[in-house]
Amino acid sequence: MSTTVRDIYECIDRFAPFSTQESWDNSGFLVGDASKEVRRVAVCLDVTHDTLAQAEAFGADLIVSHHPVIFHPMKGLREQTPGTESIVYEAIRKDIAILSAHTCWDLAEGGVNDVLATLCGLEDIEAVLPDENGNCMVRKGTLKTAVPAEEYADVVAETLNTLVRLALPEKMIRTVAVCGGAGASFLPDLKAEGVDAYITGDAKHNDFLDAIDCDIALLAAGHYETETVSMPVLREILTQEFPDLEFRYLESAPIVYIG
């Protein structure tokens, strides 16, 4: 019996329910035919012209991405000037379906933030700061021993292969919260959680000032770097569920750090 895009959608929906996504999100089946037969699946953080080309070279029938390929409303679907074609248009032209698991994968048990917390050496991990539906984006855990924030930042940088911007480098830390991607908005609520440090992807200058006011060592480790580590895990889950299919993880890093 053949596997369809719908089968893979329904599988992801069981462990990262699309109904749990944030109200502003656009996770789900976004491009193609849900009844399309699938033999090869590409998994990536972002659908870019590069990852779409990689998926085509792999012979993928489906791309499973984290960030939705359609996020803002589209006013048209057309081929543009050479080299700047609409990614959605190109995916349709190449007959590659796309489904995206964004905030539902962030929230999921074993998803983005559990993977990040585990990789960053945390133990006794728990979900904190539930939303109005009881879903928790942020994870909190403890280190085996207290260490200076600057020393821990070096470990995080090496683990995630990134550069880390840090507030309160000399602070001794043991209780750490994490939220991959753009999680700085959770910072004010974490003060009541008694955390010593907070790892997220993106942070503005004012976020670092707020962290200092909250006496929380803030580690900004890169949006891509704090989330893409979860995609091989998603690929492995799907591989176990669909052993007859071929899966490939595609790198899609948009930024190169110089220094």
pLDDT digits (tens, 9 = 90+) for 64-98: 999 999 988 777 766 555 556 789 999 999 999 99
- Helix, strand and coil content of the chain, in percent to the nearest 5, comes to 35, 25, 40
pLDDT for 223 equals 95
Tokens representing 180?
A: 């991959």
- What CATH superfamily is the domain 112-226? NIF3 (NGG1p interacting factor 3)-like (3.40.1390.30)
pLDDT for 42 equals 98
What is the distance of C-alpha 60 from the center of its chain? 21
Helix crossing, 231-241 with 5-15: angle to 10°? 120
- Average predicted confidence (pLDDT) for the chain: 94
DSSP secondary structure string, 94-148?
Answer: TT-EEEE--HHHHHSTTSHHHHHHHHTT-EEEEEEEE-TTS-EEEEEEEEEEEEE
d(CA 245, CA 8): 11
CATH architecture of 3-105+230-249: 3-Layer(aba) Sandwich (3.40)
pLDDT at 140 over 60: yes
Tell whether pTM > 0.85.
Answer: yes
Domain with CATH 3.40.1390.30 in the chain: 3-105+230-249, 112-226
